[in-house]
Amino acid sequence: MGRWKWLAALPAALLATACSEIDCPLENTVALNVGFYDAAGAQFALSDTLTVMAAGTDSVLFNRGIDVTALSLPMSMGREADTLLLRFTDIDGRTATDSVIIGHADNVHFENLDCPPAVFHYITSVRWTSHDASVLPLAVDSVELTEPNVNYDARENLKIYLRTP
Amino acid sequence: MRERILRYTFVLLSLLAAAPAVAQTPADTTGRPAGGRVRGIQYVESDHDAEAAREKAIPLLAGLSLSGDVAGLVMAAFTPYGQIEAACRVNLKERFFPIFEMGWGVSDHMDELTEQHFKANAPYFRIGCDYNVANDRLSGNRIYVGARYAFSSFKYDLDGPALSDPVWGGSVPYHFEGVSASSQWGELVLGLDAKIWKFFHLGWSFRYRVRIKQKRTPLGQPWYVPGFGKNDHTCFGGTFNLIFDI
């Protein structure tokens, strides 16, 4: 009987019950993933220098990239639409800018008390502008929405098809 | 040659002479089969028979008990979450113990680093059965293995500092009240009860919890589920029970 009593009382010291920890996800960046393609649908490395700016702000999201095939860009947390300004500059210093306007709905995402919260996005619409070929041959031709959910999954969200020289 | 013939003849005669001795087994005067025959005084195993008789005499409904979980109270007082839990258990022939558990899970916790605050107060319910694997069922001491199905439907609050957007500017409020959630899970139970005094038992249980289903919300999964613990696919838990037979 004595042994039973000890066995019954023993776990009282151990009953700080613990659950397995939920670690913050390693992939914890929420970004719009964009890929560049030529008219034939093949991935395209930009021959000109590309700079991406956030319209309405003084933020430069991507600065003077060369041979760019894909980009990860931050989306706004509270706006209904983000306007990305894609500025192309060729080797002769000619510059042209196209816009990609992305409408989206946002929702706050909670993962764990230990992890900072994030804002996920759902893309509702995409519009774009194309500059005249006489200004600069390289331009945005069209944009395809491939994955509307912008979250921790690093999937490609937009395919930007380019009018190439 | 002659010598060899004599030798074989001697061996053969010896075997023939021994044959009747082998065949001549003692006559069984009791009429029992020889293998089951007992010599001397045979004692009946009265203790074993008496225990078998006592076990046979255990009624189907051998009792009812109420219990309270002390571990959950301690957790509620000193850790980010805990519960107030009581259980009602039926004793069927000291072997099967159908059980109903209900409790109230509480959590009111703020993370110091991220300054996120989570709050939930809600009931939960479990139903299941334990099986007493102890050989001696009559001692009042029990070793259990069992299983539970559990359910909780609850609302929680979550808030923290507003999320500022360093690139596009502005901020998003981070304040949610009354977010609805529900969860179902199963539990595997290993436990032990010891009879301390007459109708009073002390016991503990160790539990492995596995989520079965959880309602998804746009906000994400709740940090804590009442009765389950810190939210994950699986979780370990336990109880330390004061048990009263009624």
Structural tokens at position B115: 């300054």
C-beta atoms of A111 and B220 within 8 A:
yes
Residue of B nearest to A82 (CA): B168
| Architecture in CATH for domain B64-245 | Beta Barrel (2.40)
> Where do we find the tokens 């700079």?
A51
Rounded CA separation A45/A65 (Å): 10
Residue A51: burial class (beta carbons within 10 Å; 0-12, 13-18, 19+): middle
Q: Which residue has the higher pLDDT, B62 or B190?
A: B190
Structural tokens at position A87: 């500025």
pLDDT 10s per residue in chain A (165 long)? Answer: 556 666 655 655 455 445 445 567 777 789 999 999 998 889 888 888 899 999 988 889 999 888 899 999 999 998 999 999 999 998 888 899 999 999 999 999 998 898 889 999 999 999 999 988 888 888 899 999 999 999 998 899 999 999 887
What is the structure's pLDDT at A21? 57
> Where do we find the tokens 């192309």?
A88
Tens of pLDDT, residues B44-96: 566 667 767 777 778 888 889 999 999 999 999 998 999 999 999 999 988 99
Segment 203-242 of chain B within 8 Å of chain A by CB = 203-204, 206, 218-221, 223, 229-232, 234-240
Contacts of A15 in chain B (CB under 8 A): 71, 74, 204, 238-240
C-beta atoms of A78 and B204 within 8 A:
no
Query: What is the least distance, in Å, from the CA of A149 to any CA of chain B?
Result: 12
Rounded CA separation B174/B63 (Å): 52
Tens of pLDDT, residues A43-76: 888 888 899 999 988 889 999 888 899 999 999 9
> Model-level pTM?
0.74
Segment 39-78 of chain A within 8 Å of chain B by CB = 54, 56-57, 59, 61, 74-78
CB pairs under 8 A between A and B: 131
C-beta atoms of A12 and B192 within 8 A:
no
Query: What is the least distance, in Å, from the CA of A13 to any CA of chain B?
Result: 10
Confidence of residue B38 (pLDDT cuts 50, 70, 90): low
* A15, A117, A119 ranked by CB distance to B71: nearest: A15
Domain boundaries, chain B: 64-245
Residue of B nearest to A109 (CA): B219
What is the structure's pLDDT at A64? 87
Domain boundaries, chain A: 53-153
Contacts of A85 in chain B (CB under 8 A): none
The pairs formed by A14-18 with CB atoms below 8 angstroms and a separation of 24 or more are: A14/B238, A15/B71, A15/B74, A15/B204, A15/B238, A15/B239, A15/B240, A16/B75, A16/B79, A17/B71, A17/B75, A17/B229, A17/B236, A17/B237, A17/B238, A18/B236
With CA atoms as reference, report the closest residue to B183 among B206, B152, B154. Answer: B152
* A74, A115, A117 ranked by CB distance to B167: nearest: A74
C-beta atoms of B232 and A5 within 8 A:
no
3-state secondary structure (DSSP) of residue B66:
strand
Structural tokens at position B27: 């006559």
With CA atoms as reference, report the closest residue to B65 among B93, B86, B39, B83. Answer: B86
Mutate to test the interface with A, among B67, B168, B234, B240 (most CBs of A within 10 A): B168
C-beta atoms of B114 and A76 within 8 A:
no
Say whether pLDDT at B132 is over 80: yes
* A5, A22, A75 ranked by CB distance to B196: nearest: A5
